Amino acid sequence: MQDNDFLINYYNEYDEEGRLQNNRVGMVEYLTTRRYLDPLLTKDCKIAEIGAGTGRYSVTLAKESYDVTAVELVQHNLDILRSKLDGSEKIKTFQGNALDLNMLEDNVYDVTLLLGPMYHLYSDGEKITALKEAVRVTKPGGHILVAYCMNEATVIQYVFGCNKLREIMDLHMLTDDWQCISEPKDLFEMVRTEDIERINASVPVERVKLVATDGASRYIREYLEEMDDETFEKWLSYHFATCERQELIGATNHALDILRKV
């Protein structure tokens, strides 16, 4: 059973509002997601965002005149999301859990975004349930975009980069083959590409693309913030040119799995 107390307490204090827009690493993630999302959108399409946070995607899309439904678990985040709306947007908002989207009907949405919930689900069973719910509400032939936190970036940047190896080993948070082990108090769950493929195998979907949404950006985040605008544009060009290279996907911090419902 999902324990949401740690998650709710975390997001009550965390600046989710600024994560994707107040620093260049977040900008890379957002711009990459939009780069792959936008070609899937048509004028009259219906979009669901499950785990909408404070609305960086759902509010922006609603203000771009799309028909949006936003579901968010954390009331604090939902309050911020709703505060951005002026009533002119075509958007419905719900407090709800990605594991049970009972407020949403089957086969309604052309595009369903699941850009946060998989970060906080700790078993294959929970991940499969969330993905099944997202697929259920999506039209046949529609797309589901699913974001994951990746294992190797955490091992490299946090375990070794932040000198946490001894602490993590003492807490038995690594397997012998360096898979991170998480539970709700740890807040985030890390996966490998083979874990994603195993989850997908339980659901009637086919993969369109698996993309590194921030690639190496977090590895050079200090340099990224110091770049002049011209150099940052070159970094974006490099990132967009390499973000589909499958041999690099495992080392990104965030990956985006683009699926089609069959």
- Evaluate if residue 1 carries a pLDDT over 50: no
The sign of the dihedral angle between the CA atoms of 121, 28, 173, 197 is positive
Q: State how beta strands 109-114 and 46-50 pair.
A: parallel
pLDDT tens-digit readout, 18-58? 777 779 999 999 999 999 999 999 999 999 999 999 999 99
Report the predicted TM-score, pTM, of the whole model to 2 decimal places: 0.94
3-state secondary structure of 130: helix
pLDDT tens-digit readout, 191-239? 999 999 999 999 999 999 999 999 999 999 999 999 999 999 999 999 9
Mean pLDDT to the nearest integer, 240-260: 97
Residue ranges in the chain assigned as alpha helix (H): 5-13, 16-19, 24-37, 58-63, 75-83, 124-136, 151-154, 165-170, 193-200, 221-226, 229-242, 246-249
- Evaluate if residue 248 carries a pLDDT over 60: yes
Q: Which residue has the higher pLDDT, 4 or 172?
A: 172
Cβ(61)–Cβ(47) below 8 Å: yes
Helices then strands, counting H and E runs in the chain, come out as 12, 8
